Every structure is written in structure tokens, then in C-alpha cells.
A and B are shown apart, each in its own frame.
Chain A
Amino acid sequence: MDVTYSILSAHALEAEVREAYDIGSPVECHLLRRGSSDTYCLATRTNRFILRLYRASHSALAVSFELDLRSHLAAAGVAVSAPIRAKNGLIALSLPAPEGVRQLALFPYPVREPFNSSDLTHWRSAGQLLARVHTVADTMVSSTPRARLDLVASIDSPLSAVLPLFAERPADAALVETMGAELRSRLEKMAREGLDWGVCHGSFEPRAMHITPDGHMALDDFEGCAEAWRPWDLSGVQWAGRRTSGIWENFAEGYAAIRRLGPRDCEAATMFVPIRHLSTLASFANQVDSWGIRHVSSRALDRWLLFLRDCHVVLDGQP
């Protein structure tokens, strides 16, 4: 019997937390949503918490690095929710699931308002927030090995995961391969000339942000965090800014108020849009046994290619 993913009983998770954490007796626990990790709401008589159960594909080390980063950022005053420590001092529990060991972490329950993409002041705050994340992350001392999105991890590996999907579409496969090679050589050249490198959030976009009751912009969804070229984190904003004027300008002003924003990093950001697009498809390809082939169906590939071509046009337009 071989299982690729399982949904664990919320009731049993509640019992695990009761034993391992000093937070009072949980009275209720329910599943909020499933995704790259499963999120539960756990309540005691006086408090509410977010319980995050990572997929087995997220190793203990990867989760540990994410939680170290969150703790470090929070300790430095960045609006990020930090994991609550268990009674034994650790920041995650390892739980046995049929598909393998899964990590569980507990966070305070956030009270918040959603990010409003049409409010330019939100974009300015987002710029400040990301700059703080990058600056503070540079001071993090953690012995936990972390993912490094170098040329191999950000282009070569995803490309080899994706190409088999196009086995029956040679023309499209050739396009993907050419584009991959082109991105690789551009990135290599730009990296040689000097790009900011360090810990990145990995999925920096509006849905990872929210507004706290005291008006601060806070950041969540750190599952994609890794060491990478910083333009990785700028790419989502720059793409959003193509269609709506003011987004990029406000964001960049916010960022530059806290941390230097080099012209090369800005220029490179566009290139990370297709690179991230490639990674997304690669992760569906790698986890096809738990997500299903629907995400890599020929219709899904058509849509994916359409966006890739769009990126190509934009990149070609660059000097």
C-alpha cells in the first residue's frame, strides 16, 4: 500500500497539539483549506491559532529553515507571524502520515484585512516590507541547510521535469527548450555582472500579504523561501505593474526607502517571471501522483505556453 497524500483527522491533530504545546486545552480544530500545506484553525477557550501541516514532500529541513526565517524576521520587528515553540523547545512536530513524515507548526491566528491591489499605498508598503525582509534576512545566522535557487535549481532541473510533458508536442518542446536556454544564458550573464543574492520569500505577491489591525503590511506564505537572486521576489510586482501604472513605481519607491534597489536587479526581474512560471509547472510535474494529471493536461499546457510566449515577447522588447 502506497499513499501519496492523506488528509489527517483534525480531531487527532488537536490531541497532538494538546500534548506537545503549552497553550491551554484546545476545544476545537477544523480544516480551513488544503494546498501545498494543509491549514487548520485551532481554538482554545481564550485563543485561536493557525496549525499548518506541511506535505511530506516538504522535508523537515526545509520546514525548519522556513520557521527559522520567520522567527528571525519577527524578532527583528518585521510583520511576519513566527511559529510557537512546543514544550520541548522545538518549532515543529514531525507526524507520521501514511505518505511519510509530515511537519506541523503552530502560529498565532492573524486578525487582518486583505491586500488591496488597487490601493497604491499598499504597493508602497509592500515595497518597504520586502526590503525589510531582504535586509533582515541578510543578518540571519542559521546552520540549517536551505534550498539555493542557482542556475541548476531554477532552470535546469525544472526544465528537465517539464520537457517530458511535451513529448508528443515536438514544436512546443523545442520552444520551451530554446526559451530555457535563452533564459539561462541571460541569467548567467546578468549574475556575472552582479545581481543581489540572498534569502528570498519565493512567492511574493498580493495574496501573501495582508494588513494588520494597527495598519502594518504583514507577510505570510513562506513555503517557497530559499536563497536566490533577489529579483525573484521583485518579478511578481513588476509583472503586475505592466498593466497598471503606478504599481511598480510605488513599490520601488517603498523598497528604495529602506534598501538600495539597483537598476540591474530591476531589469532582471522581468526575466524571473518566466523562470517562476517554469518552476510552477515543474512542481506539478514532480508531484503529479498527488495532484493529478489535470494540472498538466494538454489544455493546461496550452494555457501555460500562452503565458510563456507572452513573457517571450516582453523579454524580446527589452534592450
Chain B
Amino acid sequence: MDGDTRAGHDGWPHAANAGRIPVLHSVISPRTVLAHVSRYFSVQAPATCHLIKQSLNETYLIRQPERSFIARAYATRRPASEIAYELDLLTHLASRNVRVPAPVAANDGKLAVALGAPEGDRAIALFPYAEGAQFACKDAAQCRLAGRLLARVHDASDAFKSSHWRRRLDVDFLIDDPLHAIRPFLAHRPADLDHLENLGARLRARLTGLAAAGLDWGVCHGDFGAKNIHDGGGETDATIIDFDSCGEGWRAYDFAPIRRATLNENEELWNAFLVGYGDVRPIRAVDLQAVSLFRLLRHLSMLGVFARNVDVWGVVRLDDSSLDRWFRTLRAWDAHQASQRP
């Protein structure tokens, strides 16, 4: 052997080589997150910190005897202005008494602080922890509450202005960008690629048509599903969390997750959601008409998210069995649409 230290069991002389291999994303230890949060926010000991989940962002639960917080470490690929927009929106909504976790300001007044990670600076924001269980949307009362909550978000955000740029949930975001990202993964499935291109064109025409007919446009939550609604543990009203997918878009986009969740259930649940929304804010026929379209667009944009993040998630989410499943859903939707046409 030539004295190459590289493959020995002792490994690298660590300090000298740390950082030699670029890192795309890292999971920061809860200990480091807690130390950082304690330093920059008014969170004092005793406190514990646990990683809740590892995903594109990491979410940590910080518990103190009196209150609990969520610390989110945003991935470096989320631009700072988008984070600032999200945090401004939450502050705005909370000031209008919408039940959202308003970001806790750091000691210097900023809503996010940077933490140096191997892949670059990561923004950390702190939120009050929304106690209570996740909604299941299995009973009409919950669905009605969910509808009201969404209507309040939409209503209160009509007056929201931010000086920070955030990507809109427009045709480009919903159709063109996902198609562009997915294409390379369908090179070996020409029939599916054809189908998708063709579908993309039809979806664009349909969406443009509905938009011209007056779809409601404004700030959307972006992922308004039952998992993001916490019931408040009987103490308080329900809270809607996780605005990481928010942006200006067509409001009917926010109806899609609950529509999907209630689709195989009693139609009463979906109606209860609409009644709840209508308690606060009127729904126009054109918005209702667009919900099924937005269900598919969400499906498409999800595939786009998988495609854009293969470097950190792996291509496993776009392998043939996943694509088979995906195209089955898509064809079923197509068939359903065809059957609905007069």
C-alpha cells in the first residue's frame, strides 16, 4: 500500500478533510438548533429540542415547561425573499385574528436568523407550537370548521401586501414548470410523455378559460389539507399551520386537498366544508367548477416537485412503479372529465 490514508479503517484525518465533499443538504442536530435558538430568541432553559421530521426543510419541536415552539430550518434552495414573504403573511394573518402560528421575532426583531450549515446558510424561524390533534376531516363539524378557517385566510389576505418577492402559483408554476421538470424522466415512456404533453396543453386551455371567467385570485395557503389543521386540543379554535407552499394564486387551488380527502367519503363532508367557507366568504360557481382541475394540477405539481428534488430524494419517487400509479390516476381523471362533458 502506498500510504494512502483514504481507505484505512481509521478513515480520514477528519478535520483536515471535512468539507472536501460538497453537501447538498444536512440535518442539523437538535442540540445545535436549540443552542442557536436560545442565543437569538428569548427561549430560556430548561428546554428540550427534538427533530420532528426530515424533509426538504427540517422541523424541530422545542419544549419548555410553560410553552412549546416549532423551529423550522429552511432548505437553502428556498430563497430568502420567499421566506420573508411567508413570515410577513403569517404576521399579517395573525394580526387579523386568523388562527395561524405567527413567527416569533428574534431578539433583534428579525423573523428569521441564519445558521451556517455545510451546504450554506439556513434560515431558522420560530413559531408557537400548535397544540392539539391533526384534523381527520371524517366528520361534518370538522369539515365546516376547515372551510371557515380557509375562508378567513383568504379574506384576511386580500389586504396583504409584501415588499418581498414570492413565486406565484400561476400557469408557469402549475403546468409549464412541472412538465419541464418531468420530461427527462419520461424519455423511456414515449406514449406517456405524449399523453402528458397533450394533457398539459388541454389543462392550460381549461385554466386560461376559467381564469378569464373570473376565478378568485389572491394569496393561497398552498397545502390546505387536514394534516395541516390542528384542532387546538379543545382549548382553542383550530389552527392552520405550514405556509411553506403559500403564494398568490387561484383560490380554488386551496379547495383541492379537502376535495380529494372527502372524495371517497360521504358527500356531506365536502358540502360541510363549502358551507363553512360560505359562512365567511361567498364562493362563486366558477371557483367550484375549477376544483377538479386544481386537483389534477396539484397532482402534476407534486410530480414536478419530485422531479426537481431528485438530487436529495432520489429517483425512487419517479421509478416505473410510481409513474405507473401516477399515470393511472391521471387517466382516471381524464376519463372522469370526459364523462362529465355534456
Contacts and interface: CB of A to CB of B under 8 A. Distances in A.
Q: Are A and B subunits of one complex? A: yes
A90 to B, nearest CB: 4
Chain B interface helix/strand/loop/mixed: mixed
Interface stretch (A10-18, A167-175, A249-257): A10-18
Contact of B51 (A13, A30, A101, A288): A288
B52 A8 contact: no
Contact of B313 (A34, A96, A293): A34
Contact of B18 (A5, A60, A98): A98
Nearest to B7: A90
B9 A98 contact: no
B50 interface: yes
B27 A32 contact: no
A30 B315 contact: yes
Contact of B24 (A7, A60, A64): A7
B285 to A, nearest CB: 39
B166 interface: no
Residue of A13, A38, A60 ringed by the most chain B CB atoms within 10 A: A60
A2 B310 contact: no
Contacts of A41: 315
Interface residues of B, number: 44
Residue of B21, B22, B50, B311 ringed by the most chain A CB atoms within 10 A: B21
Chain A interface helix/strand/loop/mixed: mixed
A96 B12 contact: yes
Given A3-B27, A31-B310, A31-B311, A290 B8 contact: no
B162 interface: no
A275 B118 CA distance: 38
Nearest to A13: B21
Contact of A16 (B9, B19, B21, B24): B21
Nearest to A15: B21
A314 B7 CA distance: 47
13 contacts: A4-B27, A4-B28, A4-B29, A9-B21, A61-B9, A88-B6, A94-B6, A96-B20, A96-B21, A99-B26, A289-B29, A289-B51, A292-B53
Interface of B: 1-2, 4, 6-12, 14, 17-32, 50-54, 61, 116-119, 310-316
Q: Which 8 A-B pairs have the closest CB atoms?
A: A101-B11, A94-B11, A6-B26, A33-B316, A90-B7, A2-B29, A33-B314, A96-B17
Given A30-B311, A31-B310, 16 more contacts: A1-B118, A3-B27, A3-B32, A6-B119, A9-B311, A20-B6, A86-B7, A88-B1, A90-B7, A94-B12, A96-B17, A96-B20, A98-B19, A288-B50, A288-B51, A292-B54
